[in-house]
Amino acid sequence: MAIFLTKDNKVIVQGITGGEATVHTARMLKAGTQIVGGVNARKAGTVVTHTNKDGQGVELPVFGSVAEAMEKTGADVSIIFVPPKFAKDAIIEAIDAEIRLLVVITEGIPVQDSAYAWAYNLSKGGKTASSARTVPASSPRVRRWWASRLPTSPARDPSGWCPSPAR
């Protein structure tokens, strides 16, 4: 099985200034995920401050679009934390920007929006190298605690205990 997310990936967070994204961005940074910025068209040009796994402050730039974030940071993964009614547009924006891996966290996306976004991705090339590989966060291909952490991945316990890796 191919692993889509490694410690070398540069991740952007669509909806980075929202409540869920704020919580999970902090968790991902503390687990060592390389978050390089976020996207929120209304708050472009601002920064979001978090703490990384070494306890140092990290200022993450907020961009107006996925394409801009990719151009300025070299990001190759996007994780979507937007309300369900905006998810379809966020997915299409990431596909149009040709992000390599798109992880959709949003719950409650209307079925017709999910179907449209999936068909749109397939029309752009589906699973080819030039299109976005779109996966749900629960996919075992992104749930690898030793590679990098996305919100549904288990984080290491400070005591040293680690859950079994997904197979």
In a domain, 4, yes or no: no
Cβ pair 24, 155 in contact under 8 A = no
In a domain, 64, yes or no: yes
Residue 76 structure tokens = 């190759």
Cβ pair 20, 81 in contact under 8 A = yes
- pLDDT at position 146, please? 38
- From edge to edge, which strands make up the β-sheet containing 77-80? 47-51, 57-63, 35-39, 11-14, 77-80, 101-104, 133-136
Distance of alpha carbon 135 from alpha carbon 140, whole angstroms: 10
- pLDDT at position 52, please? 86
Domain count, the chain: 1
Distance of alpha carbon 76 from alpha carbon 111, whole angstroms: 27
Write the CATH number for 98.
Answer: 3.40.50.720
- pLDDT at position 31, please? 85
In a domain, 165, yes or no: no
- pLDDT at position 136, please? 60
Range of the domain at 82: 11-136
In a domain, 28, yes or no: yes
The residue whose two tokens read 């966060």 is 137
In a domain, 5, yes or no: no
- pLDDT at position 122, please? 86
In a domain, 141, yes or no: no
| Residues sharing a CB contact under 8 Å with residue 98, sequence separation 6 or more, in sequence order | 70, 130, 131, 132
- pLDDT at position 61, please? 98
Q: Name the H helices within the chain.
A: 19-30, 66-73, 84-96, 111-123
User: What pTM value is reported for the model?
Assistant: 0.80
Residue 49 structure tokens = 């401050």
Q: How many residues belong to the chain? A: 167
Q: For residue range 68-117, what is the model confidence (pLDDT) as tens digits?
A: 999 999 999 999 999 999 999 999 999 999 998 888 888 888 999 988 98
**Residues of the chain with confidence (pLDDT) below 50:** 1, 129-130, 141, 143-147, 152-167
In a domain, 1, yes or no: no
In a domain, 160, yes or no: no
